[in-house]
Amino acid sequence: MLNKLAGLAASALLFAAQVSAQTPIVIHHIGPFTGVLAASNKESVEGAQLYLDALNARGGVQGRPVKLETLDDAQDPKRTVALFDQLVAEQKLLALLLPRSTPSMEALLPGVAKNGIPVVGPQTGGSFVNQPPKREIFTLRASYQKEAEGAIRLQHSIGVRKFALVLADDAFGRDTLINIDRVFKELQIVPVASTKVDNRKPDVTEPVRTVLAAKPQVVLLIVSSKAGSDFVKTYNKLGGHATFIALSNCSNNDFIQGLGDSARGVIVMQTMPSPFSGTTALAREYAAVAAKRKAPLSYAGEYGFAAAKLLALGLARAGREPTPASLVAALEGLGEVDLGGYRLHYGPGERSGSNYVDATIISTGGRFVR
């Protein structure tokens, strides 16, 4: 009888272990699936899903599949926070992957710190996200400030002196402008025009008129891909001539499609290695997985793929039943991380991720080329 009971107990434990092994590790994404950022956000999330699908096909993390659940905040920071608070209250939130937009990330910071929720690969280059470093936030990319500085210095080196600024009227524009002003002052540049656009509901009519009147050589587009493409098309239609430079938030297929016939020659700064050239192991891995699913390649998709890969590395070290605290500790303990030719660095007081910045130009065929 005792042997029978012992056998039943062992079987019950084995069954419980098997059920636990099959229980998904659930990660959440809060971002815009409606509104002007919906298409580009979807590119990044689909890139992350490509990696997670491949990971799960290999057995997941410690035998458990990783499931990504998505919530639409409609590009509204207040809704972002409400969704976050709801997940915390329901004790469902292990980590956030790829939260989108600078204003939403700014709104999330207090709650993230209060509740100790890890955030992996936020889709923003706002410098305030990791300056000073926040223990829970693991950025992958260089800041918008570094991108803008690189663009200005490159153009200045070839003789450009007449710059115009088109700025998002939100945290994205304000944060990036801090370093733009610093670099302009250093180089003794006074912008010939500066105008603002509502990133959520872009109307570029007046901004285009303001910039056209100033006749700049270069227009820096510190705005969403929708606002940027609308501005370029309208500017060209009205007979303007300038070099347009957008930041990496526009490094998506949605931006190229929005530009249409005006795409050729637009410069876009990048914070990821090219997903098209195959010069890095990360790009080759991403391209191979995407090809199996017949998914289009993009910088945004590669960023999502890389963020999911970083998350998986952390989960593998966070214990069989990961918690927000164990995942933060695991990610922090990664130190030097090579995602395949794209190197990151984390540690106590260190959350800079990568400082990689490059410039691409949109070709006649609508591709980002170096």
Residue bearing the bigger pLDDT, 36 or 20: 36
pLDDT score of 20: 53
Give pLDDT tens digits for 129-165.
Answer: 988 999 999 999 999 999 999 999 999 999 999 999 9
Residue extents of the structural domains in the chain? 23-141+279-356, 144-270
The DSSP secondary-structure symbol of 296 reads P
Rounded CA separation 253/39 (Å): 9
% of the chain beyond a pLDDT of 70: 94
Give pLDDT tens digits for 167-187.
Answer: 999 999 999 999 999 999 999
Architecture in CATH of 144-270:
3-Layer(aba) Sandwich (3.40)
Residue bearing the bigger pLDDT, 365 or 344: 344
Give pLDDT tens digits for 61-81.
Answer: 999 999 999 999 999 999 999
CA distances from residue 365 to 256, 279, 298, 361, 362 in whole angstroms, order as listed: 10, 21, 14, 11, 8
pLDDT higher than threshold 70 for residue 211:
yes
pLDDT score of 3: 54
Contact 166, 231 (CB under 8 A): yes
Cis peptide before 32 (omega within 30 of 0): no
The DSSP secondary-structure symbol of 356 reads -
Query: Which fold would CATH assign to domain 23-141+279-356?
Result: Rossmann fold (3.40.50)
Prediction pTM value = 0.90
Rounded CA separation 96/33 (Å): 16
Contact 68, 27 (CB under 8 A): yes
Q: Do domains 23-141+279-356 and 144-270 have the same CATH topology?
A: yes
pLDDT higher than threshold 80 for residue 10:
no
pLDDT score of 366: 87
pLDDT higher than threshold 70 for residue 210:
yes
